[in-house]
A and B are shown apart, each in its own frame.
Chain A
Amino acid sequence: MRGEATTTYTDTFPKLLLMNAAQRGHRPAMREKDLGIWQAWTWEQVLDEVRAFALGLKELGLARDDKVAIVGNNRPRLYWSMCAAQSVGAVPVPVYQDSVADEMAYVLAHAGVKIAVVENQEQVDKLLSISERLPELAYIIYDEARGLRDYDHTRLKSFADVQKIGRALDPRSSALWWQDSISKGKGADLCVILYTSGTTGRPKGVMLTYDNVIRSSRNANAYDKLDENEEVIAYLPMAWVGDHIFSYAQSYCSGYCVNCPETPETIIEDRREIGTTYAFAPPRIYENLLTLTMVRMEDASAIKRKVFHYFMRVARRWGEKILNKERVPLYARFLYWLGNIVVYAPLKNRYGFSRVRVAYTAGEAIGPEIFRYYRALGINLKQLYGQTEASVYVTAQPDGEIFADSVGKPNYEVEVKIDDKGEVLYRSPGVFTGYYKDPDKTAETKTPDGWVRSGDAGFFDPKSGHLKIIDRAKDVGRLKDGTLFAPKYIENKLKFYPNIREAVALGDKRDFVSVMLNIDPVAVGSWAERNNVTFGSYQELAAHPKVYDMLAAHVDEVNRSLSEEGPMAGAQIRRFLILHKELDADDGELTRTMKVRRGFIVERYGPLAAGLYDGSKEVDASTEVTFEDGRKGAISGRVKIRDMRVYPSATAQAPVGKAA
């Protein structure tokens, strides 16, 4: 076990801020694109902004151990609020900004939030609408003043006004007080509470200390050799542990610059302008980029399409080998060099990945095709496995040891073991102290000697020594005849087709496997346009017989590939249907990080699930939908069900249940 556990280090973020301002005061710490121009703040300037806001917070009555909610898109002032809160001993609680009012009320009340720092009018309105459920909430502070001029300002303050309060204090004594307050903080203190979106039940507040977060971040910086020269773009939800570590903790630890996009819609362009060197995204983002590229290429002229496909074949054949520094024949190098000029470099530039040194994907399995695509282009895309409870890092792929289906080796100072039921357990300095106000759940997840149950089933590949994750431990089930059924494994195979956006597999304690599919409106919509298929709505497109035919072909391919995988061969898909509605986080069908909530979906689409197993060809379904403002409507329609062919197992003699 390597790492730097023995060296002493600066143990809180406010102290790190002071250190960065002293050591690299004139280097940029943060940028935001505003009015079309990148505005930058140096570490010294950030220090000044944070101090003014922190003193303002103190004047508003914020005390040690109070909780401060942070709600909004990635904005510099919201990141500063976290450090400002920490500098006066308070604990930031970032909240998913697209939560509906009810979800937000639960989290804010559970955390006992005293001050909320929010982005704009939308969030202010949301908080005001639930204010009677939040008796402890004393102030709402907003970043963007638009539309808020006529609001009652007794409990409402603008960020700038709070800073004004802080700056109006006697500079000498207030600075001394602030220094003193910072030096009172220590590594074992609570640093942040991150609510996990939770695939089931209410969100849980994961408590992380400064030691947890800072040790993990320092180790990660060392693992990938990150320094103050990195550029990252902050665009993932601030409430997600990934963004917290990546856009806040790792930046404070190594001094690199974090860039906030102009709006959520301009990320690709903004990333291109910045040229990020270190990137972090769930597979969905990479999938979307690839789908968009393929859709555009379909519309391109024949010559361009030919050139693109020719060089993509070259890249697939040689790109990864070149990236892994293997021996490659000279003509291949020449072709790849040519391809780089014509196709790869312009593409990478489009994606904003021209300067990228390390790009991670995490959170879900990534399609092998997608994974290889980016690596073939010469982008060092790697997988990591992490959890909020571990301050992200559990395992990651070291440079040069890349496999599409593994999540890599344990990070520095992390121990990983697999229990007899196949569940992955880990222990590290980054492991959380507990769930906020929930000792029972904590005891369920964390053993007294510090091991955390990940809830994921996995195994170590004997050849490479890499960890592989197959599914959530509790989701791995068996069919009635005892065949192993790993729903996510099947779903992922399906989702790797660009036409399929989501898949939900059923099979546990049932006779056979069947799936509910969601089409990808962009990919299928573009296909429809090219094939003269007319449609008026998502529902109509999803129910189109030609779309069914196309997806049936995909399911058939998945069945064939399953038939070749020994223990999985029994879990081939016998029947499928296409849902008449897009699965949506607002309806509780997906988590805020866009993972399907299988149990809930089966319950919600009860008649459809029943139809899959009673042999019907068509089922009527009516589904309630919730709009963002809380109003409800209904979508109803008739959904068809298709039967599928099953392939004989390629390794029929292999004993069932040998799978990890």
Chain B
Amino acid sequence: MRAPSGAGIAAGDVLLAVEGVSLAFGGVKAITGVSFDIRKGEIRAIIGPNGAGKTSMLNVINGFYHPQAGRITFKGTTRKAMRPHAAAAGGIARTFQNVALFKSMTTLDNIMAARALKMHKSFFWQIFRYGPALREEVEHRKTVEEIIDFLEIEHIRRIPVGKLPYGLQKRVELGRALAMEPDLLLLDEPMAGMNLEEKEDMSRFVIDVNNQYGTTIALIEHDMGVVMDLSDRVVVLDHGCKIADGTPNEVKKDQAVIDAYLGIAH
């Protein structure tokens, strides 16, 4: 895998910033005036109780939802809202809370599918799978095989993902996101529903991705142990508002956070 380009943004600089973002579905306010930033090369956790607006926030970042107010700055370009294809082309990849893979396709094909965005040879050549198109496919296959090796899923390469246990499906999904060689990787509860061993494996992969490829990661996670161990900085949402932002230790001691998690009258 190549190191992500990042368009001249050095490690530690702001890669993505959301400012005053508000999102409402009819009368329901999902997010209210939230601002925070994600710096290049860090692991940024977004936490909060159920219904706090975490997944909505990710959807705003990669353009699934268009906020009614606020601005999003990604790689120095400021917009009112992201567009999904612009986000994908700009280097934002994500995984979903409920695994969203092509169930009847193999692991290999699922991950190859993510490379479609990076295939440039004309449709004509691709139909015949010949000449330049074949050369291109071989090149992409190599990248995909490196990801398969990285995630240690060689043994399921040719198995339809629908037949795989949940933990492995999550890993394949991470593989598909990685195949886009993202600058920013959004992980929506990558460890939900996993047992301890699978969580430890997944944590190791998240750290290795960050370490080895310098990929910036924003993740939503409920397991506090995981969040505290993995992330460099944490932003806490509750009822659509930001209630805390800082290092895991700072956040842990924050009274508003403790209240939100233990639950007090609003």
Q: Are B154 and A266 in contact (CB under 8 A)?
A: yes
Q: Does A176 contact B (CB under 8 A)?
A: no
Q: Are B155 and A147 in contact (CB under 8 A)?
A: no
* Selected contact of B152 from candidates A37, A149, A263, A269, CB within 8 Å: A263
- The stretch among B9-17, B119-127, B141-149 that forms the contact with chain A is B141-149
CB-defined contacts of A146 to chain B, threshold 8 Å: 150, 208, 212
Contact with B along A32-60 (1 / 0, CB 8 A): 00111100000000000000000000000
**CB neighbors of A among B192-234 (8 A):** 204, 208, 211-212
Chain A: minimal CB distance from B210 (Å): 11
Q: Does A444 contact B (CB under 8 A)?
A: no
Q: Does B75 contact A (CB under 8 A)?
A: no
Q: Does A520 contact B (CB under 8 A)?
A: no
Contact with A along B131-146 (1 / 0, CB 8 A): 0000000000110011
**CB neighbors of B among A125-156 (8 A):** 146-147, 149-150
* Selected contact of A150 from candidates B142, B146, B204, B211, CB within 8 Å: B211
Q: Are B154 and A265 in contact (CB under 8 A)?
A: yes
A484 and B154 alpha carbons, distance in the complex (Å): 51
Chain A: minimal CB distance from B15 (Å): 22
Q: Does B157 contact A (CB under 8 A)?
A: yes
Q: Are A35 and B142 in contact (CB under 8 A)?
A: yes
Q: Does A262 contact B (CB under 8 A)?
A: yes
Chain A: minimal CB distance from B155 (Å): 4
* Selected contact of B211 from candidates A37, A147, A262, A263, CB within 8 Å: A147
CB-defined contacts of A36 to chain B, threshold 8 Å: 141, 145, 148, 154, 157
A266 and B148 alpha carbons, distance in the complex (Å): 13
Number of chain B residues close to chain A: CB under 8 A: 15
CB-defined contacts of A147 to chain B, threshold 8 Å: 204, 208, 211-212
Contact with B along A242-271 (1 / 0, CB 8 A): 000000000000000000001101100100
A37 and B157 alpha carbons, distance in the complex (Å): 12
A269 and B152 alpha carbons, distance in the complex (Å): 16
Main secondary structure on chain B at its contact with chain A?
helix
A469 and B76 alpha carbons, distance in the complex (Å): 77
Closest to B155 in A: A265
Q: Are B154 and A263 in contact (CB under 8 A)?
A: yes
Knowing A262-B154, A263-B152, A263-B154, the reply to whether A35 touches B145 (Cβ < 8 A) is yes
A34 and B150 alpha carbons, distance in the complex (Å): 11
CB-defined contacts of B155 to chain A, threshold 8 Å: 262-263, 265-266, 269
A303 and B208 alpha carbons, distance in the complex (Å): 49
Chain B: minimal CB distance from A39 (Å): 12
A86 and B152 alpha carbons, distance in the complex (Å): 32
CB-defined contacts of A34 to chain B, threshold 8 Å: 149
Number of chain A residues close to chain B: CB under 8 A: 13
CB-defined contacts of B204 to chain A, threshold 8 Å: 147
Closest to A628 in B: B197
**CB neighbors of B among A19-42 (8 A):** 34-37
A37 and B155 alpha carbons, distance in the complex (Å): 13
Chain B: minimal CB distance from A32 (Å): 12
Q: Are A149 and B212 in contact (CB under 8 A)?
A: yes
A36 and B157 alpha carbons, distance in the complex (Å): 9
Chain B: minimal CB distance from A632 (Å): 15
Indicate the member of B149, B155, B204, B208 with the most A CB atoms within 10 Å. Answer: B155
CB-defined contacts of B141 to chain A, threshold 8 Å: 36
A263 and B156 alpha carbons, distance in the complex (Å): 11
A34 and B146 alpha carbons, distance in the complex (Å): 9
A36 and B155 alpha carbons, distance in the complex (Å): 10
Closest to A144 in B: B149
A262 and B145 alpha carbons, distance in the complex (Å): 12
Chain B: minimal CB distance from A441 (Å): 39
CB-defined contacts of A265 to chain B, threshold 8 Å: 154-155
Chain A: minimal CB distance from B207 (Å): 8
Chain A: minimal CB distance from B215 (Å): 14
Closest to A146 in B: B208
Chain B: minimal CB distance from A118 (Å): 17
Contact with A along B72-92 (1 / 0, CB 8 A): 000000000000000000000
Chain B: minimal CB distance from A223 (Å): 35
Chain B: minimal CB distance from A149 (Å): 7
Indicate the member of A34, A35, A269 with the most B CB atoms within 10 Å. Answer: A35
CB-defined contacts of A150 to chain B, threshold 8 Å: 211
CB-defined contacts of A149 to chain B, threshold 8 Å: 211-212
A262 and B146 alpha carbons, distance in the complex (Å): 13
**CB neighbors of A among B62-117 (8 A):** none
Chain A: minimal CB distance from B168 (Å): 11
A35 and B145 alpha carbons, distance in the complex (Å): 5
CB-defined contacts of B154 to chain A, threshold 8 Å: 36, 262-263, 265-266
A34 and B142 alpha carbons, distance in the complex (Å): 11
Chain A: minimal CB distance from B205 (Å): 10
Chain A: minimal CB distance from B102 (Å): 20
A150 and B152 alpha carbons, distance in the complex (Å): 21
Chain B: minimal CB distance from A218 (Å): 36
**CB neighbors of A among B143-188 (8 A):** 145-146, 148-150, 152, 154-155, 157
Closest to B145 in A: A35
CB-defined contacts of A262 to chain B, threshold 8 Å: 154-155
Chain A: minimal CB distance from B25 (Å): 40
Contact with B along A336-354 (1 / 0, CB 8 A): 0000000000000000000
A150 and B154 alpha carbons, distance in the complex (Å): 26
A263 and B157 alpha carbons, distance in the complex (Å): 12
CB-defined contacts of B211 to chain A, threshold 8 Å: 147, 149-150
A147 and B203 alpha carbons, distance in the complex (Å): 12
Chain A: minimal CB distance from B251 (Å): 25
Q: Are B146 and A35 in contact (CB under 8 A)?
A: yes
A146 and B146 alpha carbons, distance in the complex (Å): 12
Contact with B along A264-290 (1 / 0, CB 8 A): 011001000000000000000000000
Contact with A along B27-47 (1 / 0, CB 8 A): 000000000000000000000
CB-defined contacts of B208 to chain A, threshold 8 Å: 146-147
A369 and B38 alpha carbons, distance in the complex (Å): 63
Chain B: minimal CB distance from A393 (Å): 33
A146 and B148 alpha carbons, distance in the complex (Å): 14
Closest to A264 in B: B155
A37 and B150 alpha carbons, distance in the complex (Å): 15
CB-defined contacts of B212 to chain A, threshold 8 Å: 146-147, 149
A266 and B149 alpha carbons, distance in the complex (Å): 12
Indicate the member of A36, A149, A266 with the most B CB atoms within 10 Å. Answer: A36
A36 and B154 alpha carbons, distance in the complex (Å): 8
30 pairs from A and B in contact (CB 8 Å cutoff) = A34-B149, A35-B142, A35-B145, A35-B146, A35-B149, A36-B141, A36-B145, A36-B148, A36-B154, A36-B157, A37-B145, A146-B150, A146-B208, A146-B212, A147-B204, A147-B208, A147-B212, A149-B211, A149-B212, A150-B211, A262-B154, A262-B155, A263-B152, A263-B154, A263-B155, A265-B154, A265-B155, A266-B154, A266-B155, A269-B155
Instruction: Give 17 A-B pairs besides A146-B208, A149-B211 with Cβ atoms closer than 8 angstroms.
Output: A35-B148, A36-B145, A36-B148, A36-B154, A36-B157, A37-B145, A146-B150, A146-B212, A147-B204, A147-B208, A262-B154, A262-B155, A263-B152, A265-B155, A266-B154, A266-B155, A269-B155
Closest 4 CB pairs between A and B? Answer: A265-B155, A35-B145, A36-B145, A266-B155
Contact residues of B with A, CB < 8 Å?
141-142, 145-146, 148-150, 152, 154-155, 157, 204, 208, 211-212
